[in-house]
């Protein structure tokens, strides 16, 4: 039995090893790994165990990748960033705009090539390679790919053992340990491996990797760091690393160290064999390869893939134009953000996991700055951790202030002097100056980049009045950081900050104050004793000041969301898409002088969501639950007040996005209670926007009903209707005119009409190619539906079959009042059968049949059928609108018929309309000839003039654009 168990275990191990997985390219501030415990038999090679365990762990995806389902998976193709070898004297050269021209003279190399023998290397001495780069250039990703390739045997095969370490993990160790102990703690199966014993030259086959060296305080001074050549001697981790780099400990071993720019000089030049700078993606082709590998990782249908291909082409065109996005995507981190945002905008469907734009940006910052701290510890004997503070919080207080002032004063670019003023601030101590220098070197370029526009035709030496301008690498990042700056309370006044500090101090000493109060009240006069009463009341005073501040945040959110000057801009999701894909064709009209910052209030709402607050807490940015409660309470009041005024469709779409980003069902339900109509006409709906609309309305109670949901001219498709079905349940009057719906949509709408929870009274489907098949499917719901009173199937391509089916189904539906089947292919017989049924129907009062191919005899018969006879029991008249005339009289509805034609002529068949207007003129001429009353003849002339004017406008093509209205 034990033999069988061993065989099965070996087969399972082989099967797992053969599951070849490539690494996905994504930014990470550092990699961490757990202690691996060996569970296999002692006969298994420790190196093979090591490779398998390394492969499994380094193939692990962080949560930020998993949230995108199968799209961002480990099978995603890796795109190598540009790596340039630097001479020692050029090692500190920073990234600049001329990097592409520099790359032509210095070809890119691979990490494997960095370990090729050099002319200066000594025999039996390994190489020390220092790979450095700014935040977001892909250092950790390159290391991750290197480890996986070594595990699979595709690179650095001359190294029999690779031992990766996270310097962040090493910096947290407080106890001394030998090199072999450090390796054994991380990789238990290597604890006694002879390659690490120091005997002979076995270590020449070993490669150590230390990722994120800037997190350790290395001191190479002999007086501070003792020499050690014994791998078994216990020393602090920093001392072990220093001796490895000195080649005093295991000199035959090779070492790869990655670090940020600011930490380059922590390793003396004499201990570095080669310098290499990782420079990200230097050309649009590398960027395109990355986007293709990310966005095309799906097994969807061919049309879906074609849509993604079109997105990539638009993105590539924008990059080729050397846009600001191309400058941002120089960093692989921003390529990740671009892919995540496009995935959010275009690959969202009804089955998608709940994701928000704020969540994407928060996850992006956690990927790049999670666990990152700002501290130097240079020239001290104190561990570097004690000099550290949250790097993200430092970003908010510096770059966030720049972003906030830019939003307040409608500015997107900043001069060098302004950045110096805002970011430099009033620094006094040496430690603050060192932190500032480190921040500028490592982080500032991650958020701010040279403006592409200001960089064109710029002289090499900028004059005092012609300074270089800097912008945020991604426009939305400015609004995100500004929102974070406000929500964290960093924009408090001096009084608020002072009261906060005093209140916290008194709160911490509240018991002491009470004790002192009880003692001194017996000895101190009342006039002095009042001071202590004031101190006891001080926290309450601060609470009032604090709540006022939270109210001002909510008021800012509401006022910024409904700015009058921004009311004519496109909705925020379209603005985000344009910033990524560029604007192709005519530029959108801008009615405000500066760029609108409509994402700013939406990000403020999204940052209050619990999941985002948890991530921010990990970054050292804490948003208290009490703060969220106060802002939410005040925000509801301001939103309800603003919604009492009519809002344009774009502003309403932005409101829906805010409520979605907030992810607060209670607040959403309270705001929806004040909304009775959502007119989104002419909004370019996408799957995401449909998902947002349905998600928001799903927060309302089951009894909630919208009086009107207008989605006309929104480019809706069959798939979008499926996503919107939950929203339709809350609607009484549903307008889906002028979209791209087909017969498939009728299946969803039929089921909607049959749903007992649905209460749709009016359904308008004008200008959708439903055809007979779709209309017949929809009409299957009529016998069991009890709510529908108005149905419009105008210009939907239906013919006699659907008209006869409608006549049959109407006999079993008793609530319909108005039926519009104008501008279709309905002939005389089907039209007569339909009118006969409507005449017998208990509630139908109007039938629209104009612009159908009806003969003169047929129209006359329709009019006669609609007029009740003298012996009719009910005497009810069904109004039949088949022409501008009714027999020998003018139709009461001639003007609405002409208005519908004029408003929709630009999207309808011009020749068909001209023919119908000619028919109207013949009807008017015949009716005028039958009249003897001079006043009625003049009325015919007036109507005839209106028809001729419409006909002339059609011939001259001078009609106004289609407004998407129909009766």
List pLDDT tens digits, range 698-743. Answer: 999 999 999 999 999 999 999 999 999 999 999 999 999 999 999 9
CB neighbour list of residue 517: distance below 8 Å, 6 or more residues apart: 532, 536
Q: For residue 769, count CB atoms less than 10 angstroms from its CB and return exposed for 0-12, middle for 13-18, buried for 19 or more.
A: middle
Predicted confidence (pLDDT) at residue 243 exceeds the cutoff of 90: yes
Least confidently predicted of 287-291, 367-371, 420-424:
420-424
Full domain range(s) for residue 342:
284-351
pLDDT for the residue numbered 760 = 95
Predicted confidence (pLDDT) at residue 307 exceeds the cutoff of 90: no
450 band by pLDDT with thresholds 50, 70 and 90:
confident
Q: Where are the alpha helices (DSSP H) in 347-493?
A: 357-369, 391-408, 416-419, 430-439, 445-447, 452-455, 475-487
Predicted confidence (pLDDT) at residue 5 exceeds the cutoff of 60: no
d(CA 653, CA 964): 19
Same-domain check for residues 344 and 272:
no
Least confidently predicted of 98-107, 404-413, 472-481, 682-691:
98-107
Contact call for residues 903 and 965 (beta carbons, < 8 A): yes
Predicted confidence (pLDDT) at residue 32 exceeds the cutoff of 80: no
What average pLDDT does the segment 266-274 reach?
91
Contact call for residues 651 and 574 (beta carbons, < 8 A): no
What angle do the packed helices 894-904 and 934-956 form, to 10 degrees? 0
d(CA 890, CA 930): 12
Per-residue pLDDT tens over the stretch 179-195: 999 999 999 888 888 88
Return the DSSP state at 446: H
Question: Which has the closest alpha carbon to 333: 288, 372, 364?
Answer: 364
Q: What is the pTM of this model?
A: 0.82
Percent of the chain with pLDDT over 90: 31
Predicted confidence (pLDDT) at residue 218 exceeds the cutoff of 50: yes
Question: Which has the closest alpha carbon to 446: 422, 479, 470, 410?
Answer: 470
Per-residue pLDDT tens over the stretch 877-916: 788 888 877 766 777 767 777 777 777 776 777 777 777 7
Q: Which residues of 260-289 are buried (b: 16+ CB within 10 A; e: fewer)?
A: bbbbbebbeeebbbbbbbbbbbbbbebbbb
CB neighbour list of residue 331: distance below 8 Å, 6 or more residues apart: 134, 136, 137, 138, 280, 281, 446, 473
Question: Which has the closest alpha carbon to 790: 867, 739, 843?
Answer: 843
Same-domain check for residues 86 and 159:
yes
Which comes out higher in pLDDT, residue 414 or 200?
A: 414
Predicted confidence (pLDDT) at residue 658 exceeds the cutoff of 60: yes
Looking at 279, 303, 333, which one is the last position of a domain?
279
395 band by pLDDT with thresholds 50, 70 and 90:
very high
Predicted confidence (pLDDT) at residue 665 exceeds the cutoff of 70: yes
Per-residue pLDDT tens over the stretch 804-828: 999 999 988 888 999 999 989 999 9
What average pLDDT does the segment 27-53 reach?
60
Same-domain check for residues 312 and 434:
no
Same-domain check for residues 242 and 136:
yes
**Considering the domain boundaries, does residue 205 fall inside one?**
yes
Predicted confidence (pLDDT) at residue 350 exceeds the cutoff of 60: yes
Per-residue pLDDT tens over the stretch 253-263: 999 999 988 88
Q: How far is CA 54 from CA 50, 143, 145, 482, in A?
A: 6, 12, 11, 41
d(CA 156, CA 147): 9
**Considering the domain boundaries, does residue 753 fall inside one?**
no
Q: For residue 188, count CB atoms less than 10 angstroms from its CB and return exposed for 0-12, middle for 13-18, buried for 19 or more.
A: middle
pLDDT for the residue numbered 564 = 67
875 band by pLDDT with thresholds 50, 70 and 90:
low
Which comes out higher in pLDDT, residue 213 or 495?
A: 213
pLDDT for the residue numbered 15 = 39
Distance from CA of residue 811 to its chain's centroid? 50
Q: How far is CA 787 from CA 757, 762, 814, 816, 844, in A?
A: 11, 9, 10, 8, 14
Predicted confidence (pLDDT) at residue 104 exceeds the cutoff of 80: no
Mean pLDDT over each residue of the chain, to the nearest integer: 79
125 band by pLDDT with thresholds 50, 70 and 90:
confident
**What DSSP element (H or E) covers 818?**
strand 818-820
Question: Which has the closest alpha carbon to 481: 341, 355, 621?
Answer: 621
Predicted confidence (pLDDT) at residue 869 exceeds the cutoff of 90: no
Same-domain check for residues 208 and 294:
no
Question: Which has the closest alpha carbon to 66: 76, 52, 56?
Answer: 76
Predicted confidence (pLDDT) at residue 455 exceeds the cutoff of 60: no
Predicted confidence (pLDDT) at residue 481 exceeds the cutoff of 60: yes
Q: How many CB atoms lie within 10 A of CB 551?
A: 17
pLDDT for the residue numbered 539 = 53
Least confidently predicted of 62-71, 453-462, 533-542, 604-613:
453-462
Predicted confidence (pLDDT) at residue 198 exceeds the cutoff of 90: no
Q: How many CB atoms lie within 10 A of CB 684?
A: 14
pLDDT for the residue numbered 929 = 74
Q: How far is CA 245 from CA 118, 222, 227, 269, 409, in A?
A: 17, 13, 11, 11, 51
**What DSSP element (H or E) covers 85?**
strand 83-86
What average pLDDT does the segment 612-619 reach?
92
Q: For residue 253, count CB atoms less than 10 angstroms from its CB and return exposed for 0-12, middle for 13-18, buried for 19 or more.
A: buried
500 band by pLDDT with thresholds 50, 70 and 90:
very low
d(CA 576, CA 599): 9
d(CA 95, CA 331): 11
What average pLDDT does the segment 411-433 reach?
81
CB neighbour list of residue 928: distance below 8 Å, 6 or more residues apart: 937, 940, 941, 944
Contact call for residues 669 and 697 (beta carbons, < 8 A): no
pLDDT for the residue numbered 325 = 85
d(CA 941, CA 923): 12
Looking at 257, 279, 301, which one is the last position of a domain?
279
What average pLDDT does the segment 749-775 reach?
93
pLDDT for the residue numbered 643 = 86
Question: Which has the closest alpha carbon to 245: 163, 165, 128?
Answer: 128
Predicted confidence (pLDDT) at residue 464 exceeds the cutoff of 60: no
Per-residue pLDDT tens over the stretch 74-91: 545 567 888 888 887 776
Predicted confidence (pLDDT) at residue 310 exceeds the cutoff of 70: yes
**Considering the domain boundaries, does residue 774 fall inside one?**
no
What average pLDDT does the segment 939-957 reach?
78
- Look up residue 392 and give its two tokens: 């993200």
pLDDT for the residue numbered 872 = 45
pLDDT for the residue numbered 540 = 53
d(CA 520, CA 517): 5
**Considering the domain boundaries, does residue 301 fall inside one?**
yes
Give me the CATH number covering residue 249: 3.40.50.300
Predicted confidence (pLDDT) at residue 870 exceeds the cutoff of 90: no
Question: Which has the closest alpha carbon to 965: 712, 763, 677?
Answer: 712
Strands 373-374 and 389-390: antiparallel
Looking at 297, 323, 351, which one is the last position of a domain?
351
Same-domain check for residues 213 and 246:
yes
803 band by pLDDT with thresholds 50, 70 and 90:
very high
Q: How far is CA 873 from CA 727, 814, 834, 838, 868, in A?
A: 43, 19, 20, 15, 9
3-class DSSP state of 128? strand
What average pLDDT does the segment 853-881 reach?
70
d(CA 385, CA 377): 8
Which comes out higher in pLDDT, residue 322 or 318?
A: 318
Least confidently predicted of 148-162, 241-255, 285-299, 800-814:
285-299
Same-domain check for residues 146 and 64:
yes
Q: How far is CA 102 from CA 84, 108, 275, in A?
A: 10, 11, 16
Predicted confidence (pLDDT) at residue 106 exceeds the cutoff of 50: yes
pLDDT for the residue numbered 596 = 75
What average pLDDT does the segment 855-876 reach?
65
Number of domains comprising the chain: 4
What average pLDDT does the segment 35-56 reach?
70
Same-domain check for residues 133 and 75:
yes
**Considering the domain boundaries, does residue 836 fall inside one?**
no
pLDDT for the residue numbered 383 = 44
Distance from CA of residue 802 to its chain's centroid? 44
d(CA 266, CA 666): 54
Cα torsion 481, 483, 487, 490 to 10°: value is 50
Same-domain check for residues 172 and 52:
yes
> Using alpha carbons only, what angle is made at residue 195 by residues 193 and 198, rounded to the nearest 5 degrees?
110
456 band by pLDDT with thresholds 50, 70 and 90:
very low
161 band by pLDDT with thresholds 50, 70 and 90:
very high
Question: Which has the closest alpha carbon to 895: 882, 906, 884, 905?
Answer: 884
3-class DSSP state of 858? helix
Which comes out higher in pLDDT, residue 466 or 113?
A: 113
Same-domain check for residues 243 and 333:
no
Most confident of 113-122, 463-472, 832-841: 832-841
Q: How many CB atoms lie within 10 A of CB 250?
A: 24
Integer Rg of the chain from CA? 36
**Considering the domain boundaries, does residue 738 fall inside one?**
no
Which comes out higher in pLDDT, residue 107 or 115?
A: 115
Same-domain check for residues 86 and 196:
yes
Contact call for residues 79 and 293 (beta carbons, < 8 A): yes
Least confidently predicted of 257-261, 580-584, 604-608:
580-584
pLDDT for the residue numbered 755 = 92
Predicted confidence (pLDDT) at residue 301 exceeds the cutoff of 70: no
**Considering the domain boundaries, does residue 485 fall inside one?**
yes
Q: How far is CA 10 from CA 1, 7, 152, 774, 940, in A?
A: 14, 5, 18, 59, 96
738 Rama sector, left if φ>0, alpha if ψ -120 to 50, beta otherwise? left
Q: For residue 21, count CB atoms less than 10 angstroms from its CB and return exposed for 0-12, middle for 13-18, buried for 19 or more.
A: middle
519 band by pLDDT with thresholds 50, 70 and 90:
low
286 band by pLDDT with thresholds 50, 70 and 90:
confident
pLDDT for the residue numbered 296 = 78
- Look up residue 219 and give its two tokens: 């001191």
What separation, in Å, do the N-terminal and C-terminal C-alpha atoms of the chain show?
Answer: 81
**Considering the domain boundaries, does residue 30 fall inside one?**
no
pLDDT for the residue numbered 591 = 45
7 band by pLDDT with thresholds 50, 70 and 90:
very low
Contact call for residues 64 and 359 (beta carbons, < 8 A): no
Same-domain check for residues 362 and 345:
no
């Amino acid at each position: 039995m034990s033999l069988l168990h061993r065989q099965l275990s070996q087969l399972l191990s082989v099967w797992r090893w053969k599951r070849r997985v490539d690494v996905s390219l994504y930014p990470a501030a550092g990699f961490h790994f757990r202690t691996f415990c060996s569970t296999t038999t002692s006969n298994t090679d420790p190196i093979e165990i090591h490779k398998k365990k390394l492969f499994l762990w380094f193939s692990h995806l962080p949560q930020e990748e998993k949230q995108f389902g199968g799209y961002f998976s480990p099978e995603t193709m890796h795109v190598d960033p540009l790596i340039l070898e630097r001479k020692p004297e050029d090692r500190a050269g920073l990234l600049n705009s001329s990097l592409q021209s520099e790359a032509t003279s210095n070809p890119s190399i691979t990490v494997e090539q960095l370990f090729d023998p050099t002319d200066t290397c000594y025999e039996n001495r390994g190489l020390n390679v220092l790979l450095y780069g700014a935040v977001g250039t892909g250092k950790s990703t390159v290391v991750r790919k290197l480890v996986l390739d070594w595990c699979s045997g595709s690179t650095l095969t001359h190294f029999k053992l690779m031992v990766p370490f996270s310097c962040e993990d090493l910096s947290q160790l407080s106890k001394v340990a030998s090199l072999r102990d450090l390796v054994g703690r991380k990789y238990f199966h290597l604890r006694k491996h002879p390659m690490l014993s120091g005997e002979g030259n076995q270590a020449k086959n070993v490669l150590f990797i230390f990722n994120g060296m800037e997190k350790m305080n290395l001191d190479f001074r002999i007086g501070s760091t003792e020499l050690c050549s014994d791998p078994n001697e216990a020393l602090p981790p920093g001392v072990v690393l220093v001796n490895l780099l000195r080649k005093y400990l295991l000199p035959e071993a090779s070492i790869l160290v990655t670090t940020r720019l600011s930490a380059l000089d922590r390793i003396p030049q004499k201990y570095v064999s080669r310098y290499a700078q990782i420079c990200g993606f230097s050309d649009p082709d590398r960027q395109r390869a990355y986007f293709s590998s990310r966005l095309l990782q799906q097994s969807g249908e061919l049309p879906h893939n074609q849509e993604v291909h079109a997105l990539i082409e638009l993105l590539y065109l924008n990059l080729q134009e050397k846009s600001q996005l191309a400058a941002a995507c120089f960093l692989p981190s921003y390529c990740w953000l671009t892919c995540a945002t496009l995935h959010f905008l275009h690959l969202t469907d009804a089955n998608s996991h709940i994701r928000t734009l704020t969540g994407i940006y928060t996850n992006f910052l956690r990927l790049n700055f999670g666990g990152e701290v700002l501290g130097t510890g240079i020239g001290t004997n104190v561990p570097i951790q004690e000099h550290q503070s949250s790097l993200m919080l430092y970003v908010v207080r510096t770059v966030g202030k720049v972003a906030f002032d830019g939003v307040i004063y409608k500015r997107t670019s900043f001069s060098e002097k302004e950045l110096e003023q805002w970011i430099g601030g009033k620094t006094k101590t040496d430690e603050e100056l060192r932190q500032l220098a480190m921040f500028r070197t490592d982080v500032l370029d991650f958020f701010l980049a040279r403006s592409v526009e200001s960089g064109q035709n710029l002289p090499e030496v900028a004059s005092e009045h012609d300074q270089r301008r800097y912008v945020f690498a991604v426009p939305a990042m400015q609004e995100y950081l500004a929102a974070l700056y406000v929500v964290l309370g960093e924009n408090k006044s001096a009084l608020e900050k002072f009261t906060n500090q005093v209140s916290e101090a008194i709160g911490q000493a509240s018991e002491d104050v009470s004790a002192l109060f009880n003692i001194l009240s017996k000895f101190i006069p009342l006039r002095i004793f009042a001071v202590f009463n004031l101190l006891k009341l001080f926290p309450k005073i601060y609470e009032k000041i604090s709540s006022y501040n939270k109210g001002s945040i909510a008021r800012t959110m509401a006022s910024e969301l409904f700015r009058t000057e921004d009311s004519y801009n496109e909705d925020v999701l379209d603005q985000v898409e344009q910033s990524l894909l560029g604007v192709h064709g005519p530029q959108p009209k801008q009615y405000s002088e500066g760029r609108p910052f409509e994402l700013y209030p939406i990000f403020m709402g999204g940052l209050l969501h619990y999941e985002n607050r948890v991530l921010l807490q990990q970054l050292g940015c804490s948003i208290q639950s009490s703060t969220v409660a106060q802002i939410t309470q005040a925000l509801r009041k301001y939103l309800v007040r603003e919604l009492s005024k009519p809002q344009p469709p774009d502003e309403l779409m932005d409101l829906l996005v805010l409520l979605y980003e907030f992810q607060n069902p209670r607040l959403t339900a309270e705001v929806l209670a004040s909304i009775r109509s959502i007119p989104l006409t002419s909004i370019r709906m996408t799957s995401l926007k449909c998902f947002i609309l349905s998600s928001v309305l799903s927060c309302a109670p089951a009894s909630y009903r919208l009086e009107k949901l207008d989605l006309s001219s929104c480019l809706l498709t069959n798939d979008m209707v499926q996503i919107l079905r939950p929203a339709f349940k809350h609607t009484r009057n549903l307008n889906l005119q002028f979209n791209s719906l087909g017969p498939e949509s009728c299946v969803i709408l039929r089921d909607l009409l049959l749903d007992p929870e649905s209460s749709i009274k009016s359904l308008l489907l004008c200008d959708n190619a439903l055809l007979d098949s779709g209309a017949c499917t929809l009409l299957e719901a009529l016998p069991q539906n009890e709510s529908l009173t108005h149905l419009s199937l105008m210009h939907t391509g239906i013919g006699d079959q659907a008209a006869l089916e409608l006549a049959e189904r109407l006999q079993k539906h008793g609530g319909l009042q108005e039926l519009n089947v104008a501008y279709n292919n309905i002939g005389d017989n089907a039209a007569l059968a339909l009118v006969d049924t409507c005449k017998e129907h208990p509630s139908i009062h109007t039938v629209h049949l104009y612009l159908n191919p009806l003969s003169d005899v047929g129209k006359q018969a329709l009019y006669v059928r609609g007029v009740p006879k003298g012996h009719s029991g009910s005497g009810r008249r069904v109004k039949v609108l088949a022409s501008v005339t009714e027999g020998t009289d003018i139709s009461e509805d001639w003007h609405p018929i002409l208005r519908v034609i004029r408003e929709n002529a630009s999207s309808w068949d011009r020749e068909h309309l001209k023919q119908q207007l000619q028919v109207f003129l013949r009807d008017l001429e015949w009716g005028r000839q039958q009249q003897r009353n001079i006043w009625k003849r003049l009325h015919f002339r007036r109507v005839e003039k209106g028809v001729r004017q419409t006909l002339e406008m059609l011939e001259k093509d001078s009609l106004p654009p289609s407004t998407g209205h129909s009766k």
